């Protein structure tokens, strides 16, 4: 089970869906959700500057296009990986399935890409099984369709 998850997504309704799905699938004990990539970047910057990794989530799910933010999910992942220390499992959760965007995400250091849809539970279940691989950084980038 993942200790703590941070979801960055502009859609509040999806926060509820994701939280309930994670709880039902026993994926995580703790889940925090943010609406903007700016807020998330500020938190990671703070954790990086303070050197305090206790509050840091174990895994981060980022939406691709976050309305109301000054940069998209791929840029947030790049910042998390290259500016604020690379100590979390991080990937994209989006309804988009564009190979070009996925290639950009890989370059930014994303480890997975989960396609959002009505039936998200099977993908999260599969992700849960693969999680240890991401944590150990032994599993390559994977798209959950």
Partner 1 sequence: MITIDSNTKKTLMDLYTKKGIGLEGNITKLIDTENDEEFKKYLKECETKDGDKRRKRLEMTKKIQKQNEELINLNAENQKIMDDLQSTLKGAEEQRVRIEVQNGELIDWREENEKIQQDLQREMINSERARIQAEEAKTNAINDLDILQKRNQTELISNIVKVALYIIIGVGIVTTGVYVFTLVMGKDTQVISATWSNIFGILLTNAFSIVGTIMGIKYATENKQ
Give yes or no for residue 39 binding partner 1 (CB under 8 A): no
> Which tokens belong to 100?
């070009």
Q: How far is CA 59 from CA 99, 109, 118, 127, 128, in A?
A: 23, 13, 22, 12, 11
CB of 51 to partner 1, least distance (A): 27
Rounded to whole angstroms, the Cα distance separating 10 from 45 reads 20
Q: Which of 5, 14, 35, 36 binds partner 1 (CB under 8 A)?
A: 14
CB of 11 to partner 1, least distance (A): 8
What is the pattern of x (binds partner 1, CB under 8 A) and - over residues 102-131?
Answer: ----------------x-------------
Closest CA to 47 of 74, 78, 85: 85
What 3-state class would DSSP assign to 80?
A: helix
Give yes or no for residue 26 binding partner 1 (CB under 8 A): yes
Q: Which of 2, 3, 29, 84 binds partner 1 (CB under 8 A)?
A: 29
* Cβ neighbours, 10 Å, residue 128: 16
Specify the residue, 17 or 143, whose C-beta has the smaller distance to partner 1. Answer: 17
Give yes or no for residue 13 binding partner 1 (CB under 8 A): yes
Rounded to whole angstroms, the Cα distance separating 125 from 35 reads 24
- From 6-14, 52-60, 61-69, 135-143, give the range in contact with partner 1 by CB under 8 A: 6-14
């Amino acid at each position: 089970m993942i200790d703590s998850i941070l979801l960055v997504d502009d859609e509040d309704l999806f926060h509820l869906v994701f939280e309930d799905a994670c709880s039902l699938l026993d994926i995580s004990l703790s889940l925090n959700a943010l609406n903007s990539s700016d807020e998330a970047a500020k938190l990671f910057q703070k954790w990086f500057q303070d050197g305090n990794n206790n509050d840091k989530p174990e895994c981060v799910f980022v939406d691709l296009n976050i309305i109301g933010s000054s940069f998209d999910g791929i840029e947030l992942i790049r910042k998390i990986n290259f500016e604020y220390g690379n100590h979390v499992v991080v990937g994209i959760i989006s309804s988009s399935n564009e190979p070009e965007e996925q290639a950009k995400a890989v370059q930014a250091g994303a480890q997975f890409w989960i396609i959002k849809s009505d039936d998200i539970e099977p993908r999260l279940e599969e992700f849960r099984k693969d999680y240890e691989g991401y944590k150990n950084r032994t599993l390559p980038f994977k798209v959950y369709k």
